[in-house]
Amino acid sequence: MCELLTFQNVSVAFHKNTVVHQVNFSLKPGESLGIVGESGSGKSTILKAAMGILENGGRVTEGQILFQGRNLCEMKEKELRTIRGAGISMIFQDAGASLSPIRTIGEQIHESMSAHQKISRQEAFQKAMGLFEKLHFQNGERVWNSYPFELSGGMNQRVGIVLAMLMEPPLLLADEPTSALDVAVQKQVVQEMKRLREEFGTAEILVTHDIGVVRAMADRILVLKEGRVVEYGAAEKVLTEPEASYTKELLAAVP
């Protein structure tokens, strides 16, 4: 099967400061990649580069990023915007913060979904209710009718996750999606990501500082240290016979 996303020798710099060095990996439909590394190692930067949303003078200085065989770095903003909606969705580290404060959750969900497909409010509602329930919302209908300020931070985080998942994109990027959630909900999020892979053939990248989290979901693991790949391979191999001493350290820290 054809690669969906490929990083070929990709380096990223903010102004003159290179923070990601010559990264290579690729992902086919339905595959999951876990990117693991400590804070500041470049994980979010890699995801943002894949979305074409590097801010503050950040740019790809070397190599190329191919999405469905096409170089993202050469695309016009309009084309990138289409890909961001219909091709790639991202669950941000602070997913709740990307919600609009002045519209209800239901309005935002319906609007996002109808930007890329024809869907009635009722259909969007039904789909959202299914995911709300799986992500442990007590009263999905109340959430649908609420404004973000009426919900807790953790609830808004879960709404952000639901929103990204409802887009059913070919590629889902998740930036430490579960770090602020309690353990039961974390498990459910990982479970739902698995369901998307199985049901829709979604390819997924899950970024985390905790190698224990990727154990449950990744086909392949990439270990990042100070912007460089120190290990990349099949999850089972990386978890049971790591080659890099840094990976061994990370694994030793998992209870």
What does the binding site for ligand ADP look like in residue numbers (CB under 6 A)?
A: 14, 19, 37, 39-45, 55-56, 58
* Calpha distance 67→35 (Å, rounded): 18
Give 39 or 245: the residue with its C-beta nearer to ligand ADP.
39
* Calpha distance 38→24 (Å, rounded): 19
Task: Pick the piece of the chain touching Mg ion (CB under 5 A) from 43-51, 98-106, 112-120, 163-171.
Answer: 43-51
Query: Can residue 44 be called a binding residue for Mg ion (CB under 5 A)?
Result: yes
Query: Can residue 202 be called a binding residue for Mg ion (CB under 5 A)?
Result: no
Give 90 or 151: the residue with its C-beta nearer to ligand ADP.
90
Q: Judge contact between 187 and 193, C-beta under 8 A.
A: no
* Calpha distance 109→236 (Å, rounded): 37
CB of 11 to ligand ADP, least distance (A): 12
Q: Judge contact between 10 and 59, C-beta under 8 A.
A: no
Comparing C-alpha atoms, which of 233, 239, 132, 247 is closest to residue 188? 132
Query: Can residue 41 be called a binding residue for Mg ion (CB under 5 A)?
Result: no
Residue type, 128: A
CB of 223 to ligand ADP, least distance (A): 12
Give 52 or 177: the residue with its C-beta nearer to Mg ion.
177
Binding site for Mg ion (CB under 5 A): 44
